Amino acid sequence: MERIEHHACFGGWQEIYQHESTTLGCTMNVAVYLPPQAEKGRVPVLYWLSGLTCTEQNVITKSGVQRYASEHGIAIVAPDTSPRGEKVADNHLYDLGQGAGFYVNATQKPWAANYQMYDYVVQELPDLIEAHLPVTQERSISGHSMGGHGAMVIALRNPGRYRSVSAFSPIVAPTQVPWGQKAFESYLGSDRETWKQYGTLELIATAEERLPLLVDQGTRDEFLDKQLKPELLTQACEAAHHPLTLNMRTGYDHSYYFIASFIGEHLAHHAFALSQ
């Protein structure tokens, strides 16, 4: 891991690392915030997964998460949203290809060669972070939009690996909405049964661990009715008796203005779980 940015921030350090990913077959950037507590010992980690078109930069420059990470003594790790590079498959559409990895392991050409974001987030990235930085193996996970989808799917599929999970404006039903259907058709193929392994609603029904879900959703989100459909998450959790806190935030949209308004509450949620 090569450090390419290093900035003092809220008593800690906001850094960007670059590394060669064997899982993705390309060079990847990852943002890491180390709170001041990391100078005296190892700290737990919150993994943040960003949404469509984003990079590792969005959450660290727009959310103000570092302030709360310093208060609670939590490292923040934010990877890019897809593999990158001239040799990596891409598409001219914003919701497919680079910047739109959807946190799945692609099985279809040309995507399968690089688009293994699920394995990267679950295995390779934590292994690197825990080997090179002053962090513990206590992990939580969160994300926004496509990243909210990724965070919930990864937590649900890996019982015991994460202490807590939360999401802002998540794509809760990717198998049923245009964003998810386009990505899954391209990355996973036409067999919709294979899509279910990356569907939050389907995973809740059979979850081995009932890790409470914390979700914040703005009522003026321009994607609310067509792409996000939080009511389906409520129905799935009620049917499976899965704990869910869904906060519908009046007047808020899909932007980082929304995330910045409530990121402190999410950090407190994760800090409590990580301290138990």
Report how far residue 173's alpha carbon sits from residue 10's, in angstroms, rounded to the nearest whole number.
37
Query: How many alpha carbons lie under 13 Å from residue 271 in its C-beta half-sphere?
Result: 15
Q: Calculate the CA 119 to chain-centre distance.
A: 13
Q: How many CA atoms lie within 13 A of 181 on its CB side?
A: 6
CA distance 77 to 33: 7
| Active centre residues (catalytic) | 145, 221, 254
Report how far residue 141's alpha carbon sits from residue 54's, in angstroms, rounded to the nearest whole number.
17
Q: Do you find a cis peptide bond into 110, omega within 30 degrees of 0?
A: yes
**Looking up tokens 């005296």, which residue turns up?**
40
213-218: strand order across its sheet:
2-9, 12-21, 26-34, 75-79, 43-49, 135-143, 165-168, 213-218, 244-249
Strand 43-49 with 75-79, pairing: parallel
What distances in angstroms separate CA 168 from CA 17, 32, 93, 95, 229, one per listed residue?
Answer: 25, 20, 23, 18, 13
Q: Return the axis-axis angle of helices 65-72 and 256-275, rounded to nearest 10°.
A: 10
